[in-house]
Structure 1
Amino acid sequence: MKDEGSLSVDDVIERARGLVPLLRANAEKTERANAAVPENITALREAGLFRIPTPRSMGGLGLGLRAEVGVAAELARGCPSTGWLLMVNSAGRGLLQGMFPEDVVAEIYAADPDVSIANAGVGGVAAKAEGGYRLTADTAFASGCLHSAYTLVLLNSVTVDGEPQMALASVLVRTGDAEIKEVWDVAGMRGTGSNTVVSKDLFVADKHVAYHAIDPETGAPEGMGTSTHTLTASANVLAPLVGAAQGALDLIKESFDKGRPVFHTTHGAVADSPGARAWLAEATHHIDVAWRHLWLAVDQLEPALEQHVELSDEERTRIRMYVASAVREARQGLSKVMDLGGAGGFASANPLQRYFRDFETGSRHWTLNPFIALEDYGTALLGRAPLATIAL
C-alpha cells in the first residue's frame, strides 16, 4: 500500500465494502482450503487494512476500535472467515504495540508494514536462557497462522534456572520457525485456519518476549493493559458475526428482487407474500438492533481507551450485556433469514448455510459467553465481588 495521506474511519470501511463481492466469490474456496485464499489476503494488504491500528509514525493508518470493528464487520458480509482474520490481526497488532518496546515494534513494521500477526491460546513453558527464552508449547486456535509472519503466544509458565516464576510471558514467535498442526476441523469459520502452533525448545530472543510479573496482592500481571483494553476483545469478536448476519440478509433480499417463488402457495414470488415481507422486516429489524448494540459497545469503549480510563465493574458488565444482546438479536435475525431461505438454504451449494454455520460457531467464542455476562452484570449491579470472569 502506498502512502495516501490520512484516511478516515469511513474511508477504510468503504474500502472494506468494496471487497465484499470478491470475498463472497471466494468464500467457498476459502472454506474448502481451511484458510483464506491468497487472493483475499492480497486484497486486504493492498487496501491497507492490516495497517488500521498501527501508528502513522510507523507507516500505519493510526485508527482505533471503530475502524477495526467497522472493517471486520464489512468484510464478513462477503466472507465471515476473512472478516475474522482481519479482526485477529488488528488485535495482534494492538497487543504487540501495547506490550513490546517501541523499537521492537518499529523494527517489525519497517520490515513489512503489512505484516500479519496471529494470536494463539494460552499454554506452554518459557525457560530463561542466555539472550532469550526457550519456548515449548502447543498453542491452539491460532487464527490466521497459515499466512502470518508472527504468532503471538501467551504462556502461563515461566522458569528461570528451572524455578517457576510468578509471571506470564507474551512471546512473539516467527511462525516459520514453529510447526503448524493443521487440526482445525469445525462446523463453521473453517476459513480462519485456526490451527495449533507447535514450538519445541524454540529459542526466542529477549526482545521478542514480554515478561509479565504477577502482583502477589492483586494477582494481576504487569504490562498487559487494563481490563478496558481486554474488554475490547468482545467488541472485536462480535464485529464479524454481525457482519455475517448482515451478509446472509443481503443474500435473501437479493432473492426477493429476483422473484424467487414460495413453493406450494398461490404467491407467484416471495415478494408477493405479505407474510414473507413481514418476516423480512423482522429479520432486518433484529439485525439492525444487533448493529446498534455493537456500536453502543464501541461508543463506551473507544473514549475510555483514548483517555486511559479504567471502567468500573458495572460499566464493563453493561458493555458485555450490549455485546450479548447483539449476538442474540443477530441470531434471531439470521434464524428468520434461514426461514425465508427454506430447506434449500441449507444445501451445500447455497452460501446461506455457510453464513449460518460461521455465525453459530463464532458466536460461541469465550469472550461472548452470554450466561456469564448476565451473571456478572447482576453481581456488579449489587456491588458484589468478585465477578465470575477473570479476563473481561
Structure 2
Amino acid sequence: MKIPDRPELVARADALRELLWDDAVECERERRLSDRVVTALTEAGLLRLQTPRRLGGYETDMRTLLDVAIALGRGCPSAAWIAGVLNAGNFMAGLFPHGAGDEVWGDDPDARAALVLGMPSPAVELVEGGAVVSGEWAYVSGCLHAQWVSALIAVPTDADRPDVRFALMPVGEVAVKDTWYFAGMRGTGSNTVVADRVFVPEHRLVSYLPILNGETDGVVDPALPYRNSLTGLFAIGLIGALIGGAQAALDFVRAKGPNRPVAGSTYRDQTQSPTFQLDLAEATSKIDTAKLVAARIADTVDELARAGVNADLTVRARNRLESTQVGRLCREAVDTLLTAHGSSAFNESNPLQRLWRDINVGSRHAGFGMGIPEQVYGRALVGGDPREISFIV
C-alpha cells in the first residue's frame, strides 16, 4: 500500500472543506457529525493517520495530524476535533499488544477508537484473564463514531495508590448516555460512556504511566516507530481544530468586508475603516502566532520520537502550556473578528456565531483551562515535579 505524504493528506482535507461547511449546521443541530461527513473523512483516509501501517494505517507524524486538523477545522471545527480525537485514540489502540490491534483493525483498517483521559473512577474487579469493569466516563469525543474506546481504570492494589491502566473496550459492549448539551462544539457529540460489568481481557489492558511518559519499549506493541508522552500528542488535533475554526472566521470576515457598511460612518465599506484594518491585523497576527506555536509543539514531539528520546518534564509541561496559549490566541482572534464584522455576527443565520461558540468551548477543554497548565509549567521551571499538580503532563 502506498502511504500518502503530508501534502497529499492535507489536500484531501482541504477538498472536504465545502462539504464540512455545508453540513456544519446539521451537525450542530443533531449534536453529532452527519453520516455524510463521517463517510467523507473515512474514504479520504483521514481517520487512519495514526493507525499502525501493519494493519492498513498511515502511521503519520504529528505535524501531519496538526496540518490535517487545521484544514478540516476551516470547514467545521467539530469535525476536525473528532478527527483529532479518533486519530489519537487509534494511536493509543496501536500501543496495545498485537492481539488487541488485530481485534481492532484485523477486519477493518478504517476502524476507529475513541479515547478519554478523565480521572478513573470505575469499579474494577480483577478476574482470571483480565478485569471486569463498571463505571462512567464523561466527555468522550468520538464515541458516536467509534467501534472501540480506550478509558482509564484504577485497579485496586495493596499500595496507597491504585494501578492505573487503559482499558480498550468494544463500543458494542458499553452504553452511550446522551449528555452532550453544550453551547459550542455541539457536533462532537462528546457524550458519556457507561460500562456495566464489561470483561476486558489482559491483552486489552496496559499500564498508564509508561504510555504517559513515552517509556513504552517492551511494554506495548514494539512495531510502532513513534514514541512520546501521550499528552504531548493528544492536544495536537484539538488545537488544530481551533486554529482551523479561527482561520475560517478570518476568511469569512475578510470576504464580507468589501460589501459591508460601517454603521454610523461615511466609509464606503468596512475595508476603508482604519479600525477594521487594525482589527484584521490583530486577529491575523494572533492566528499566525497560534500556528507557529502549534507547529513547534508538533515538531518537538516528532523530533524527539525520531531520535528515540523521551521528552523531559519541562518540555512536556511547556507543550501543555503552549497548547493552552494556542487556544487562547484563537479565542481572542475570533472575539476581535466578531467585533470587526458587527452585531450581525451574532445572528443565528451567521456562521460566525457558531465558530465563536465552538472556539470558546473548545479552547476551555480541561487540558487547557483553569490556570493548571501555567502552574504545571511554572513548577517544572523551578525544578519541581509538575505531576504533583496534574496527571496530564
Residue of structure 2 in register with 1:175 after alignment: 171
TM-score normalised according to structure 2 size:
0.89
Residues 301-320 of structure 1 mapped to structure 2, 5 A cutoff:
301-320=301-320
| Higher deviation after alignment, 288-297 or 50-59 | 50-59
| Higher deviation after alignment, 337-346 or 128-137 | 128-137
Residue of structure 2 in register with 1:293 after alignment: 293
Residue of structure 1 in register with 2:322 after alignment: 322
CA-CA distance at 1:80 after TM superposition? 0.7
Residue of structure 2 in register with 1:336 after alignment: 336
**SS state at 1:151 partner:** strand
RMSD: 2.6
Taking structure 1 as reference, are residues 320 and 132 closer, same or farther at Cα in structure 2, changes over 3 Å only?
closer
Following the alignment from structure 1 to structure 2, what is the Cα–Cα distance between the partners of residues 232 and 289? Answer: 19
Structure 2: gaps of 5 or more residues = 221-225
**SS state at 1:60 partner:** coil
Following the alignment from structure 1 to structure 2, what is the Cα–Cα distance between the partners of residues 354 and 210? Answer: 39
CA-CA distance at 1:157 after TM superposition? 3.5
**SS state at 2:74 partner:** helix
Following the alignment from structure 2 to structure 1, what is the Cα–Cα distance between the partners of residues 90 and 122? Answer: 22
Structure 1: gaps of 5 or more residues = none
Which of 80, 99, 106 aligns to 1:110? It is: 106
TM-score normalised according to structure 1 size:
0.89
Residues 64-79 of structure 1 mapped to structure 2, 5 A cutoff:
64-79=61-76
In structure 2, give the amino acid aligned to 1:204. Answer: V
Residue of structure 2 in register with 1:144 after alignment: 142
Residue of structure 2 in register with 1:269 after alignment: 269
Q: Is 2:93–2:100's contact at 8 Å kept on the other side of the alignment?
A: no
Residue of structure 1 in register with 2:35 after alignment: 38
Taking structure 1 as reference, are residues 138 and 321 closer, same or farther at Cα in structure 2, changes over 3 Å only?
closer
Residue of structure 1 in register with 2:244 after alignment: 243
Q: Is 1:117–1:150's contact at 8 Å kept on the other side of the alignment?
A: yes
Q: Is 1:229–1:305's contact at 8 Å kept on the other side of the alignment?
A: no
Following the alignment from structure 2 to structure 1, what is the Cα–Cα distance between the partners of residues 391 and 59? Answer: 30
CA-CA distance at 1:190 after TM superposition? 0.9
Following the alignment from structure 1 to structure 2, what is the Cα–Cα distance between the partners of residues 379 and 196? Answer: 33
Taking structure 1 as reference, are residues 269 and 213 closer, same or farther at Cα in structure 2, changes over 3 Å only?
closer
- Paired positions, count: 381
Which of 19, 26, 39 aligns to 2:23? It is: 26
Residue of structure 1 in register with 2:204 after alignment: 208
Following the alignment from structure 1 to structure 2, what is the Cα–Cα distance between the partners of residues 210 and 17? Answer: 36
Taking structure 1 as reference, are residues 379 and 92 closer, same or farther at Cα in structure 2, changes over 3 Å only?
same
CA-CA distance at 1:84 after TM superposition? 0.5
Following the alignment from structure 1 to structure 2, what is the Cα–Cα distance between the partners of residues 108 and 277? Answer: 51
Following the alignment from structure 2 to structure 1, what is the Cα–Cα distance between the partners of residues 317 and 359? Answer: 23
Deviation readout 1:284-337 (Å, 9 max, x if unpaired): 111111111111111212111222312223323333343233223222211111
**SS state at 1:204 partner:** strand
Deviation readout 1:317-373 (Å, 9 max, x if unpaired): 333343233223222211111112211111111111111111111111122237333
